[in-house]
Amino acid sequence: MAGSKIETRQRFTFLDIFRIFGGLLIFSSVLSYWFTSTASWNLLEGKYTNVDFYKFEFSRLVFPSHYGTMSLKQLSLYNGTDSSLPIYISVNGTIFDVTKSKHIYGPGGRYHIFAGHDYSRLFVNGCFKKRDQWTFDLRGLDRQVVQSTLEKWSQYFTRHPEYWRVGCVDFPSLKEIEPPEICDDGLVYPGF
Ligand code: HEM
């Protein structure tokens, strides 16, 4: 009996542990590549190697009331005009911190229009020149186009290594408000 116990212990070596972990690692990398097109579940390529992301997470832990759900009015404070505050944009109700791209979203930036707002309608139809389209109101737009376009934009901001999700918008009711006009001659996003 004693002899067979020793034999069993000897059979399971460090090499076996190494093989198991190695196998799991390869299996995980293959799965990760399938789902994220990276071998590391996006951990090395994404925001997880960005020190600012951890500063943000720490600050969220210490001041939870600064994050979470906010009204459109609260969101408008984060439009880049006050340099002591971060810059937020919202897509379909999800708020992202885009402070890292001040040159794009800060005052004078090409897409400053989005800073401090949820102008999801613009993300869909690109009608930047028409003031009534600067809204989160998606009524009248093709549902499928809305869904696929906003999903792509949300993914874009979620996966961006220097942007992170801050919270969501508590939208007011649109019941009493007329939907914006249909605009079908807007810019077409060249990306995706
Ligand atoms: C539906 C229409 C469009 C929307 C909603 C849109 C939105 C955006 C957004 C949000 C960004 C910033 C991405 C980031 O934060 O990294 C961006 C970047 C950019 N977009 Fe557009 N865009 C549109 C159409 C166009 C068109 C028609 C062009 C030019 C032909 C264009 C040229 C660019 C360029 C060059 C950038 C890089 C950032 C820069 O240098 O300012 N976009 N777009």
Q: Are residues 15 and 103 in the same domain?
A: no
Q: Are residues 72 and 143 in the same domain?
A: yes
Q: Are residues 23 and 73 in the same domain?
A: no
Q: Are residues 59 and 139 in the same domain?
A: yes
Which pLDDT band holds residue 50 (cuts at 50, 70, 90)? Answer: confident
Residue 177 lies in a domain: no
Q: Are residues 31 and 63 in the same domain?
A: no
Percent of all residues in the chain with a pLDDT value above 70, rounded to a whole number = 93
Q: Are residues 146 and 76 in the same domain?
A: yes
Nearest Cα residue to atom 21 of ligand 1 = 189
Torsion of CA 91, 95, 100, 102, to 10 degrees: 70
The answer to whether residue 5 scores a pLDDT higher than 90 is no
The answer to whether residue 155 scores a pLDDT higher than 90 is yes
Q: Give 89 Cα–ligand 1 centroid separation in angstroms.
A: 14
Q: Give 35 Cα–ligand 1 centroid separation in angstroms.
A: 26
Choose among 178, 162, 73: nearest CA to 118.
73
The answer to whether residue 98 scores a pLDDT higher than 60 is yes
Would you state the pLDDT for residue 150? 98
Q: Are residues 127 and 155 in the same domain?
A: yes
Which domain covers residue 157, as residue numbers? 47-169
